[in-house]
């Protein structure tokens, strides 16, 4: 299974908070992660072990850092979410409804399925909200 498929929504949110605040090599302390998630530190702490085991973050001297693998996982997540939104938009859902619908599936889809949907949708460059969709694959197939 791909890392994204193994995460809970809360773990993904924790990864997002850590990545946003650990840019430039500066780590983020536990209390700041907890504040970013709106939970108590022990609840935030429970998310860090699984993220570290998957190699998405590393921890050093009480601070957490997003790894390149963690940042890649977040960009893959956005791609899954926005491709799913595009699919639901073409199925006739309003732009607002596509967001909620995409949240129901975006973490469960495999990259392969997202790629197939993206191809079937003609490789949309933006989601229904105008946010950019990154190209399908680095291997040359996909967006032209
Ligand atoms: Zn594509
Ligand atoms: Zn969107």
Give the Cα separation of 75 and 81 in Å (integer).
10
DSSP string, 23-79: GGG--EEHHHHHHHHTS-HHHHHHHHHHHHHTTSEEEETTEEEE-HHHHHHHHHHHH
pLDDT digits (tens, 9 = 90+) for 107-135: 999 999 999 999 999 999 999 999 999 98
pLDDT digits (tens, 9 = 90+) for 16-39: 999 998 777 789 999 999 999 999
pTM of the predicted model as reported, rounded to 2 decimal places: 0.88
How far apart are the CA of 133 and the centre of ligand 1, in A? 8
How far apart are the CA of 129 and the centre of ligand 2, in A? 4
Phi, psi of 74 (to 5 degrees): -65, -40
How far apart are the CA of 64 and the centre of ligand 2, in A? 28
């Amino acid at each position: 299974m791909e890392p994204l498929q193994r995460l809970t929504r809360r773990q993904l949110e924790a990864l997002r908070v850590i990545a946003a605040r650990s840019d430039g090599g500066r780590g983020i302390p536990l209390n700041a992660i907890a504040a970013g998630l709106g939970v108590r530190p022990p609840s935030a702490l429970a998310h860090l072990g699984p993220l570290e085991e998957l190699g998405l973050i590393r921890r050093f001297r009480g601070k957490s850092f997003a790894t390149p693998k963690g940042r890649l996982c977040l960009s893959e997540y956005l791609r899954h979410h926005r491709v799913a939104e595009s699919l639901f938009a073409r199925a006739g859902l309003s732009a607002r409804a596509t967001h909620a619908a995409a949240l129901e599936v975006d973490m469960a889809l495999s990259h392969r399925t997202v790629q197939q949907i993206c191809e079937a949708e003609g490789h949309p460059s933006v989601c229904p909200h105008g946010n950019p969709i990154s190209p399908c694959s680095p291997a040359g197939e996909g967006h032209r």
